[in-house]
Structure 1
């Protein structure tokens, strides 16, 4: 058991913090919208605090799962951020998908105050968070990771340290780059099947066990065929992540032609009003082009 704080109760953070309570930890939560924190306490127990600093008082580990680089700065090192009250020897674990640059900015600041920092973005979507089946990719000091990993296990099916600070975020970028190409390919394949007069479900039943198979195909093909896009990671958030990938590629010299193209396709989806649709809505763009 440990005394923990969890900052950010979005679609991912809300169930993740709940798993920590179920594992027997003492959890205090903070959310920008206080009503959401009160709802979480009513559901799971634990406690809520009005600021990140209040939530972090006395915590052994503070977890964050917020929106972007600026949100992370605010809850970590801001005037009411967790670092204002964290005790020496504590650990800050960030599950937000951010740039590697902000990790390298914040880690030395926290470490100067005796607080270790682990960047630990996750993959697996809302369902993975709810079912405790996330993949967690981490960067940071080995000793800090060793302290965090047994606690993270409450909601992870896989947790690995990939290197020093920023390595977790760089690995998450690889994840998002791969997903972008996979979803576009799946969208084109299902769209082609529709235009060819094939039964899309029957087609997937045959091909998903072969070389074309993927988590995206297995988990998203039915809702894609049904034109339903309220089941996962939002287009707006994917564009945020791909923007980070493309900016980082400009810095390290990597060529990402497909990721850059799919980012523009997601921009088209936003223009269709689909900013909050899930990422499989790329197929809707193809259907719209046929009208």
Structure 2
């Protein structure tokens, strides 16, 4: 299939690579042209100087950018993707953004004769590189059925959650669950250290029981070692939690733990840890 990928950050760069390796004809766009040139050098395919030019002739246009405003900047305007897309083409957005912007772009797509799916992902940089992302999708069934085989190039799970915006709402639930879990894990590891327990032996035991989680398996030992210079950045997590808390204000959900953990992440940012992994919630406990 002829496809376009807009946004070649730590997620988009490998995701677009998986599309190329799976036999699709891929054109890429990135705000930094040097990044697009590097992608073409590694993977082949082609690049274009604007989203609109990149989107010309594509059956599906994928995007993975930073936030709502970044998404609008690649979708709208004379140089935006919608201006270059043909009638009946499909836009699939992998950005973690608000449900509000997903519904807005869906309405614009319908007006332009295009399809739209909001399809945020979970799994982080490692999941993107290994082609094992979880994809939560909002949109209509026919568009989902069309995109699903292509998305499978980099996904191990992909589910249609409901109409436009439902994918973003599902991603919010994902981030809410992670936030509380990481804080609990940080407190547990901190308590173990203060109690004089062997943290590695402890993890070997409790990771086989009811406390087991992806975070425990993948971040417990690095927490104990005080290593945080990798992974999903605190800055990104705060952006995501801000989206969750704003949506909760609209729908009336009570998120007391999420709001508290968001403030703990703010403390990490103030310490210069905005690019540290989310497991750095351990750091303010060990170095108050």
* Residues 1:235 and 2:234 are matched in the alignment: yes
Matching residue of 1:188 = 187
User: Alpha-carbon deviations, 1:243-291, whole Å to 9, x = none?
Assistant: 00000000000000000000000000001100000100000011121xx
Give me the whole-angstrom Cα distance separating, in 1, the residues matched to 2:100 and 2:245.
13
Matching residue of 2:223 = 224
Matching residue of 2:120 = 121
- Normalised by the length of structure 2, the TM-score is 0.99
Where does 1:201-280 land on structure 2 (aligned, <5 Å)? Answer: 201-280=200-279
Matching residue of 1:170 = 169
Deviation at residue 162 of structure 1 after TM alignment? 0.4
Deviation at residue 112 of structure 1 after TM alignment? 1.0
Give me the whole-angstrom Cα distance separating, in 2, the residues matched to 1:94 and 1:168.
10
Matching residue of 1:147 = 146
- Which is further off, 101-110 or 171-180? 101-110
Matching residue of 1:133 = 132
- Which is further off, 77-86 or 13-22? 77-86
Give me the whole-angstrom Cα distance separating, in 1, the residues matched to 2:8 and 2:196.
44
Unmatched tracts of structure 2, length 5 or more: none
Give me the whole-angstrom Cα distance separating, in 2, the residues matched to 1:125 and 1:201.
24
Unmatched tracts of structure 1, length 5 or more: none
Matching residue of 1:85 = 84
Matching residue of 2:196 = 197
- Which is further off, 201-210 or 70-79? 70-79
Secondary structure class of the residue paired with 1:205: helix
Secondary structure class of the residue paired with 1:138: strand
Secondary structure class of the residue paired with 1:157: strand
- Normalised by the length of structure 1, the TM-score is 0.98
- Which is further off, 70-79 or 183-192? 70-79
Deviation at residue 226 of structure 1 after TM alignment? 1.3
Matching residue of 1:30 = 29
Q: How many residues align?
A: 288
